[in-house]
Structure 1
Amino acid sequence: MAHDAELADRVRTALSDRDVREVTMFGGLAFMVDEKMMVSVSGGGGALLVRVSRSRDAEYLEARGARRAEMGTGRSMGEGWITVAEEALTEDEDLQFWVDAALEHHAEAAGR
């Protein structure tokens, strides 16, 4: 499945101050920092897969457009994996919220 090129460009901008590597993964285009996935842009609706802190998982699931990520129908990816609907990413601030959530998890995991 092809990724949403416009959303991918917006993610590049949001992560422009980081050393990022782009990798085809999870049926989309993943953005990696220090070889850890931050977010992945998928196609067909522009959904964003986000890796977040498990300690804040329930809080993030309350956000508009957020749902538990699935790896195939009915197969939950578990805590810390959230898919955000395209409609919830219309403003740059909306996207930045999720990029920041991913970066927060990354910093926690790295012990920073």
Structure 2
Amino acid sequence: MAYDPELADRIRELVAGEEGVTEQRMFGGLAFLVDGNMAVTASGQGGLMVRVDPKETDALTDGARVRPMVMRGRAMRGWLRVDIAAEESPHELQQWVARGVSYARSLPAKARNR
């Protein structure tokens, strides 16, 4: 399954003007990075993948629409899968994108490949 280009466009609009934001295709989706740190992705599995403070993982999950990302059978703290479609609430999408951008911005910038 490919990522939803309409959802990617909405994310792009929300991060427009943010300093240090780049896009990169990865994991079948389109990731938006802040200073080299992944913030939010229009996931190739549908919805969003959002990077958050690992300490907030449990408080943000609801077991249905928001759940920890699982990689190789292991839940990854600080990474959430959010079931959201392009046509859903602009406010809800804006909150998730802002949360991911804010956390990614709090991390040290990654050196760029030369």
Fold equivalence (TM over 0.5): yes
Percent identity of paired positions between Structure 1 and Structure 2? 36
The answer for unaligned runs of 5 or more in structure 2 is 109-114
Is 1:20 aligned to 2:21, yes or no?
yes
SS of the residue corresponding to residue 3 of structure 1 reads coil
* 1:94 alignment partner, one of 92, 99, 102: 92
Distance 1:2 1:34 in 2: 25
Q: Normalized per residue, which structure has more helix?
A: 1
The answer for unaligned runs of 5 or more in structure 1 is none
Partner of 1:56: 56
SS of the residue corresponding to residue 81 of structure 1 reads strand
Q: Are the counterparts in 2 of residues 49 and 82 from structure 1 also a CA contact under 8 Å?
A: yes
Distance 1:14 1:41 in 2: 13
Distance 1:57 1:100 in 2: 16
Shift of 1:71: 2.7
Given the two structures, how large is their TM-score scaled by the length of structure 1?
0.81
Distance 1:13 1:63 in 2: 29
